[in-house]
């Protein structure tokens, strides 16, 4: 534990109660580290509550039980292929190696209902390796992690608190953080190593315009989006960044629920229509092209329309879609005309568009185009340590989740965003615990 002019000291200060922040706090505390978890909002989990948060894990016991032969090296190879070689191989390898122990830990330590989605191989993966954390996806994951954190004697959770700056020493190491719980009050000085887990910058218009100008015209309509705090904190202490131009948009943000439809509806046969009931674009177009086309329609919305055959297949492929997305966002009708009446679509136009025989009932989800997430962030090494602009690790500073560049590349494999957030959290917690143990023994 550091010593200095602090109001309070800990072995680890976690900035942001995202899934990565929560996991790091519990993992470090289980290894004897006193941890303070600082969250700006009153709720824990960030944007994860509205996400699938399936975890790509290779060589897990769940795969073994299903007879699937896989290994971390194979996952790392898939990640490097998908990201165009733009990420460090050692980071991809380190992240991939954490998958199997992480899903086991989530099941055994946090009580998550881990289920291997063995029915299909996701795009970019060579085997089935997505592990669902429960029927409610990210909400299930948050519940288990938050419960473990709240019950832990070595974890102090501070909500409604803003980290104003990181505190460093003359040698460039991070020694703590200045935290404000009252806008009119004096910042509270916390001493300890710091893990930044406060998300990306998708909700900050200025940063998006600077780094991802091609998506700046699309709005961010989700909940709990990153506002760029992690970039600001890191840059103030000289941190390097990576992948800031990597970003994701979606043409399928269900409105008004703000849930992204990730189930393979289009691949299964769904069509996208406007208020006139007509198709207006190729549903398989690039996400930015399609998102812009949706925003150009009357009311800036469109409708994903599909029959019960497609719905049944999508439910089987994606538990989050089955238990959260479709019940919360879907409308259905016994006939095309019934569905059109509910949504005030042109019935004749919709009937002509859906000329092929359908398996009733007929379903529809109203969607719009929007920013989804940014992938770049603070550059980290294979131990989740934040790198200085010189290329060397900044002592005492770590990053995970949307705060870290992690696996930012040309594409993001399904399940690797949640994997990276949890894996970098575990790597940081293990590194901090090892340092605390070494200091105690010296």
For residues 196-224, average pLDDT: 93
For residues 204-215, average pLDDT: 96
For residues 376 and 383, give the distance between their C-alpha atoms in angstroms, rounded to a whole number. Answer: 17
Of 278 and 406, the one with more pLDDT: 278
Residue intervals of the chain classified under CATH 3.90.700.10 are 248-371
What pLDDT is recorded for position 43? 87
What pLDDT is recorded for position 3? 44
What pLDDT is recorded for position 410? 67
149 near 30, Cβ under 8 Å? no
The CATH class for the domain spanning 8-246+375-441 reads alpha beta
- In the chain, what are the helix, strand and coil shares in percent, each to the nearest 5? 35, 25, 40
pLDDT 10s digits, 383-395: 999 999 999 999 9
What pLDDT is recorded for position 288? 96
Which run of H or E residues covers position 82?
helix 72-82
For residues 60 and 101, give the distance between their C-alpha atoms in angstroms, rounded to a whole number. Answer: 7
For 248-371, CATH gives: 3.90.700.10
- Which residues neighbour 438 within 8 Å (Cβ) at sequence distance 6 or greater? none
In this prediction, residue 119 has a pLDDT band, given cuts at 50, 70 and 90, of confident
Neighbours of 84 (CB within 10 A): 10
What pLDDT is recorded for position 4? 55
What pLDDT is recorded for position 20? 97
Work out whether the CA dihedral 370, 376, 378, 384 comes out positive or negative: positive
Sheet holding 115-116, edge to edge: 55-56, 130-132, 115-116
For residues 135-163, average pLDDT: 95
In this prediction, residue 2 has a pLDDT band, given cuts at 50, 70 and 90, of very low
Residue intervals of the chain classified under CATH 3.50.50.60 are 8-246+375-441
What pLDDT is recorded for position 412? 81
What pLDDT is recorded for position 1? 38
For residues 251 and 270, give the distance between their C-alpha atoms in angstroms, rounded to a whole number. Answer: 14
pLDDT of 407 strictly over 90: no
pLDDT 10s digits, 159-185: 999 999 999 999 999 999 999 987 667
129 near 57, Cβ under 8 Å? yes
pLDDT 10s digits, 242-295: 999 999 999 999 999 999 999 999 999 999 999 999 999 999 999 999 999 999
pLDDT of 312 strictly over 90: yes
- Which residues neighbour 68 within 8 Å (Cβ) at sequence distance 6 or greater? 116, 118, 127, 128, 129
Residues in the chain: 442
Phi, psi (deg, nearest 5) at residue 2? -70, 160
For residues 14-38, average pLDDT: 97
- pLDDT mean across residues, the chain: 94
């Amino acid at each position: 534990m550091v010593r200095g002019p602090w109001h309070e000291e800990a072995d680890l200060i976690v900035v942001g109660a995202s899934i990565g922040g929560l996991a790091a706090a519990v993992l470090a505390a289980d290894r004897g580290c006193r941890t303070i978890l600082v969250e700006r909002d009153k709720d824990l989990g960030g944007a994860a509550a509205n996400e699938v948060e399936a975890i790509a894990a290779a060589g897990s016991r769940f795969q073994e039980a299903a007879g699937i032969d896989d290994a971390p090296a194979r996952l790392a190879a898939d990640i490097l292929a998908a990201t165009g070689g733009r990420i460090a191989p050692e980071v991809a390898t380190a992240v991939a190696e954490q998958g199997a122990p992480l899903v086991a830990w989530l099941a055994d330590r946090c009580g998550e209902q881990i289920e291997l989605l063995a029915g299909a191989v996701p795009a970019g993966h060579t085997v089935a390796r997505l592990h669902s954390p429960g029927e409610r996806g990210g909400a299930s994951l948050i519940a288990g992690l938050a419960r473990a954190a709240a019950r832990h004697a070595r974890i102090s959770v501070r909500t409604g608190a803003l980290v104003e700056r990181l505190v460093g020493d003359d040698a460039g190491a991070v020694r703590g953080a200045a935290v404000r719980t009252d806008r009119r009050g004096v910042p509270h000085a916390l001493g300890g190593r710091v893990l930044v887990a406060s998300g990306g910058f998708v909700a900050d218009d200025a940063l998006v315009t600077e780094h991802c100008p091609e998506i700046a015209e699309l709005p961010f309509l989700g909940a709990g989006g990153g506002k760029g705090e992690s970039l600001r904190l890191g840059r103030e202490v000289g941190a390097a960044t990576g992948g800031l131009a990597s970003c994701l948009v979606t043409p399928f943000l269900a409105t008004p629920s703000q849930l992204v439809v990730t189930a393979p509806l289009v691949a299964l046969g769904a069509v996208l229509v406007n208020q006139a009931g007509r198709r207006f674009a190729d549903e398989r177009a690039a996400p930015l092209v399609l998102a812009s086309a949706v925003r150009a329609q009357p009311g800036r919305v469109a409708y994903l329309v599909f029959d019960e055959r497609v719905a049944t297949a999508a439910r089987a492929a994606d538990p989050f879609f089955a238990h959260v997305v479709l019940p919360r966002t879907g409308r259905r009708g016994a006939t095309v005309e019934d569905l059109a009446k509910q949504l005030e679509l042109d019935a004749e136009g919709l009937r002509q568009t859906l000329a092929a025989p359908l398996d009733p009932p007929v379903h529809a989800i109203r969607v719009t185009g929007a920013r989804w997430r940014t992938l770049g962030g603070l550059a980290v090494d294979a131990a989740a340590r934040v790198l200085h602009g010189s290329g060397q690790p900044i002592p005492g500073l770590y990053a995970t989740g949307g705060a870290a560049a992690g696996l930012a590349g040309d594409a993001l494999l399904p399940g690797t965003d949640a994997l990276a957030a949890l894996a970098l959290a575990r790597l940081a917690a293990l590194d901090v615990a090892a340092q605390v143990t070494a200091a105690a023994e010296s």
